[in-house]
Amino acid sequence: MKTKFFRVLLAVLAGALAVPAFAPVGLFPLAFVSLACLVVLLERAGSFRAGFCIGLGWGLGAYCVGIAWLVIALWRYGDVSLPISVLIVFLFCTLLALFPAPMCAAYARWRHGGTLRRAAFFGGLWAFAEWLRGTAMTGFPWLAIGYSQTPPSPVAGYFPFMGVYGVAGGVAFMAGLIGVCAAVRTARQWKLSAALIVAICSVGWALSWIRWAEQDGSPLTVSLVQTNIDQLHRWDPEHFNETLRISVDMVRAARGDLVVLPEAALPLPLDALPEGYVDTLSDIVSERGASLITGVFTRKDGLFFNASVTLGAGAGQHYAKSHLVPFGEYPPPFFSWFYEVANIPMSMLSPSPANQPPFTLFGREIAMSICYEDLFGAELISSLPRAGLMLNLSNLAWYGDSFAQPQHLQIARARVLETARPMLRSTNTGMTALILPDASISAMLPAFTRGILEVEVAAFKGLTPYVRWGNALALVLAGIGVAVGMMRRSKPCAGGRGAG
């Protein structure tokens, strides 16, 4: 019993070890180390139940550490007591941990064959678990292990082919090779596995030099506004006028042909703003032939939407968020009681239909997303290849000065690699940035400062394999990995020491 408990505890620590692989620390090799440790523990698991507990422990370690910043939103801004906030986030992390847990249980129960087959089995199962976590019950793919492999990781070149879930499966496959070799301790398998890992990383590095898209037209000047409004003030009626004034002043100071205000920059629904306010914003940009995109809440038939609208040149276009944030914008499954203890303004929003058309401004088509929506790569590609640019409006002030901001920026970099489209990000408190098609950050404002990021960005045209196929290739490869791992030879391998 003590041994089983000790292994679960080690699994928790292994899960926590994965978190520094992501931004802002960015030690991407730790993702391999974390999963390799998990495989070693699973190789010593003697039953389905033991594997489940180890997988649950790994998930709790990764998610409780990696998204602990959710507590800030509930406690500081949601009027929920600290103990209840911690409990809610722990329960949510437990729900997330239920995705890797059965995968680990399946590996512990049905693994067989040699090193290669076991690694393929683990990689396929892991890719399926990550994909399910990103799609089931509306999905929450934050901290999908593939996100840790943005440049300079040598496997970043696989993003345009397989997306984040395919990269996750590849990382798990290589970690599986390491973990099985560490468990069986045979020099021959170490050499073969090391050679295969070097080959996979070398191919990934070579693929990263492919340019999947080319510039389409001349650059557009864009002013990305970072308003830096404290979340405590955003919904305080005494600060409404000040918040509205800041937005007007910053739009007036912006010089770009396109000016962008962040998510929910205007603290009242569009039809409840002071008389003449929208006209003032429109007049400022119209006087110089510019356009403004602003985040604002809208309502229709008694329903509220988190939206963005255009003013000035190209006025009248509207995009409303279709993929909402659990807790912040709706209660997740089994958490309907949440709003009985929390007080979060504008938190009972309605989703809009998916596959809304991009904005068309200055002859360019811009794929829109609001905050959390850029976690869902398969949804963003619905605007491609039509759109040549991507624009995300965000407000992560809910989570204070935490890992949430750099983690979200890293997610955006993965979307850029998948689509070969530059992404503009306008945020309230950070990180406002321009990300180029190679996932490099061209320019960025410091977090928690008020400012305007003036950039020039061109639209791009071209298709990556991921834009063509979405997650299909990743899921097919995952299925092959699981099938290979499940096949039994007429003469079973003893002790898992064969080459597979």
- Which residues make beta-bridge pairs with 337? none
CA torsion sign for 162, 100, 202, 195 is: negative
- Spell out where 163-290 has E strands: 214-226, 258-260
How many helices and strands, by DSSP H and E, does the chain display?
16, 12
- Establish whether 242 is a catalytic residue: no
* Distance set, CA 371 to CA 47, 321, 406, 417 (Å): 41, 9, 13, 18
Active-site residue flag, 321: yes
Among 37, 53, 371, 373, the active-site one is 371
Instruction: Give the count of beta carbons closer than 10 Å to the beta carbon of residue 277.
Output: 15
The dihedrals phi and psi of 324, each to the nearest 5 degrees, come to -90, 160
Asked if residues 440 and 405 have their Cβ atoms less than 8 Å apart, the reply is no
**Is 418 an annotated catalytic residue?**
no
Cβ neighbourhood burial of 109 (10 Å; 0-12, 13-18, 19+):
middle
Catalytic residue among 43, 263, 373, 418: 263
**Is-contact 403 436, C-beta < 8 A?**
no
Please tell me which residue in 93, 321, 329, 418 is annotated as part of the active site. Answer: 321
- SS3 readout for 429-453: CCCCEEECCCCCEEEECCCCCCEEE
Catalytic positions, please?
263, 321, 371
